Chain A
Amino acid sequence: MITVDARGDACPIPVVKTKNAIKEMGGPGEVRTLVDNEIAVQNLTKMADQKGWKVSSRKIDEDNYEVTMTVGETAGAEAEEAPEVCQPDARTRKTVVVIASDCMGQGNDDLGHVLIKSFLYSLTQQDVLPATILFYNTGARLTCEGSPVLEDVKSLEALGVEILTCGTCLDFQHLKEKLQVGGVTNMYEIAEKMLKADHVIRP
């Protein structure tokens, strides 16, 4: 298997590099191309589909995607299990992200604060954004004055993501006057948003 690293390259460079690698290979085989965005995955997939090559793709993390194509006679030689395919554009899907705490994960709160900060920043870098982000319990602190992620939440709002914070949680923590971004919501709306979502993501 040949690996082509096309991270940091704008289209059409990932396709050009992959084609060159296939040419060098000179016959059937597998080529794995690393790219840093989903559009490049889609353009590589289009090429493989047009050529009739078997192709699969996988999102490793925010900036790392892997497209594997089997060049040659035809697909089906190995019954390889297709990994998570990141081809379909999910922009129209309704995803709700729930931030239920100012900590991400359990075990170590200091680490949790760092992780949640990094999570919200990473959300701002996605091609596909959630429709809504709900903040409740200590998560409500993150939309208020003094929050370490205020700028990221504001950017998400500017990108069209609906930002809602639980009103009861603001009251309970005496934060009502300190809300800096998005709207205030209630449990009825929180429940409704979750039920109507295609996906609810809780980091």
Chain B
Amino acid sequence: MSENKELVFCRGGGCTAKLGPGILERVLSRLPKGERDPHLLIGYDSHDDAAVYQISDNLAVVQTLDFFPPMLDDPYTFGKVAAANALSDIYAMGGDVKTALNIVCFPEKMDLNILGAIMQGGAEKVQEAGGTLAGGHSIQDSEVKYGLSVMGFVDPHHMYANNTGQAGDVLILTKKLGVGLVCTANRVGEASKEAMTQAVDSMTTLNRTASEIMRRYPVHACTDVTGFGLLAHLHEMLDGKLAAEIYADQVPRIPEALEYADAFLLTAAAQRNRNHVGKQVRFADVPFAMEELLYDPQTSGGLLMAVQKEEAEALVRELQAAGLPAQAVGVLKAAADTEITVYPAKPR
């Protein structure tokens, strides 16, 4: 790849560029809300990934957007990752993608072929999602940023909020953790080729298959794991009403990510996630690197589902049969003093 076809890294690309959850919450909690529209099913007061607006008895529109600076130096792959990440919010709701609009920030002086490659990658993912890329908006900016605004459909009787899990549910994660650590290591030239390949494969995989399989099971809640990392997204899922146990040995991960954490190739975002939910988390004799993995910000991460206990095994098996590295990583419990407890292994 010629030098001018490469993207320049930003201070932290992908979902590591997200604003810290603590700061965000302060601002959001003070915004004026206006009157509640009864057709707005999700989005008025939850921390959900998308807004859902009901338009008839069995049809609701899901609306979402996501964009960020590059976390990879190949523009085409970056486009695919950014699109897969934006589309994921629809899948977390249990919806189907219909249309998408490009969101583009691009320096005027940069080679336009780079922009072409980014948008090519994005367009391919929208197509794979079964949607239509219907336009977009471009802004001149000092740094590259790309993403999508996405519209999808969902049946309001069969959609998934992130905070409707039930005590006893099994938590299933459908992708490997560690893409934040691997991309960070890659940025300083420390990531192995194998680790980077795994991270890119994971980030460019749509959550479509996982979402479509999920709909056939009694799943009570779902969210996608992105910039806040597994533990902060789980914290939102618990919503002050539940507690959870996580079994570290069950968590799917890119193996090298733990090595990079042990080498302290840590992101600022992971530390912000730790500052945000650390007080609610107890690690029961879990190695440092595993702690970091559970706080690791994910770009285009997997779905985290809360499924009725009896069906969990069958759901994991079907997800795995579809080629996904899904695992049952923990359980939901009744609310307790310690909101999240991480054990080294699943009890026998």
Chain A interface residues (CB < 8 Å from chain B): 10-13, 15-16, 19, 37, 39-40, 42-43, 46-47, 50, 89, 91, 129, 158-160
Q: In the assembled complex, how far is the CB of residue A112 from the closest CB belonging to chain B, in whole angstroms?
A: 30
Q: Are A12 and B26 in contact (CB under 8 A)?
A: no
Bound state CA distance, A16 and B267, in angstroms? 12
Q: Are A91 and B266 in contact (CB under 8 A)?
A: no
Bound state CA distance, A120 and B46, in angstroms? 33
> Can you name 10 A-B pairs with beta carbons within 8 Å?
A10-B11, A10-B268, A12-B266, A15-B264, A39-B272, A43-B268, A50-B264, A159-B23, A160-B26, A160-B29
Q: In the assembled complex, how far is the CB of residue B275 from the closest CB belonging to chain A, in whole angstroms?
A: 4
User: What residues on A are CB-neighbors of B268 within 8 Å?
Assistant: 10-11, 37, 39-40, 43
Bound state CA distance, A158 and B268, in angstroms? 23
Q: Are B271 and A12 in contact (CB under 8 A)?
A: no
Bound state CA distance, A203 and B275, in angstroms? 27
Is residue B288 within 8 Å, beta carbon to beta carbon, of the partner chain? yes
Residue among A11, A91, A129, A158 making CB contact with B267, cutoff 8 Å: A11
User: What residues on B are CB-neighbors of A47 within 8 Å?
Assistant: 264
Known contacts: A39-B271, A42-B271, A89-B275. The answer to whether A11 contacts B12 by CB under 8 A is: yes
Interface residues on B, range: 20 to 34
Is residue B321 within 8 Å, beta carbon to beta carbon, of the partner chain? no
Bound state CA distance, A39 and B184, in angstroms? 15
Residue among B23, B188, B271 making CB contact with A160, cutoff 8 Å: B23
Bound state CA distance, A65 and B188, in angstroms? 23
Is residue B265 within 8 Å, beta carbon to beta carbon, of the partner chain? yes
**12 other contacts beyond A15-B264, A129-B26, A160-B26, with CB at 8 A cut-off?**
A11-B12, A11-B184, A11-B266, A11-B268, A12-B264, A15-B265, A19-B263, A39-B271, A43-B264, A46-B264, A47-B264, A160-B23
Looking across the interface, which residue of chain A has its beta carbon closest to that of B187? A12
User: What residues on B are CB-neighbors of A46 within 8 Å?
Assistant: 264, 266, 271, 288
Q: Are A42 and B12 in contact (CB under 8 A)?
A: no
Bound state CA distance, A12 and B187, in angstroms? 9
Known contacts: A12-B188, A13-B188, A42-B271. The answer to whether A91 contacts B22 by CB under 8 A is: yes
User: What residues on B are CB-neighbors of A129 within 8 Å?
Assistant: 23, 26
User: What residues on B are CB-neighbors of A16 within 8 Å?
Assistant: 188, 265
Q: Are A15 and B275 in contact (CB under 8 A)?
A: no
Q: In the assembled complex, how far is the CB of residue B258 from the closest CB belonging to chain A, in whole angstroms?
A: 13
User: What residues on A are CB-neighbors of B264 within 8 Å?
Assistant: 12, 15, 19, 43, 46-47, 50
Is residue B284 within 8 Å, beta carbon to beta carbon, of the partner chain? no
Q: In the assembled complex, how far is the CB of residue B234 from the closest CB belonging to chain A, in whole angstroms?
A: 19
User: What residues on A are CB-neighbors of B266 within 8 Å?
Assistant: 11-12, 15, 43, 46
Contact with A along B16-58 (1 / 0, CB 8 A): 0000001100110110000000000000000000000000000
User: What residues on B are CB-neighbors of A39 within 8 Å?
Assistant: 268, 271-272
Bound state CA distance, A160 and B30, in angstroms? 7
Q: Are B275 and A160 in contact (CB under 8 A)?
A: no
**Interface centre among B12, B23, B184, B275, by most A CB within 10 Å?**
B275
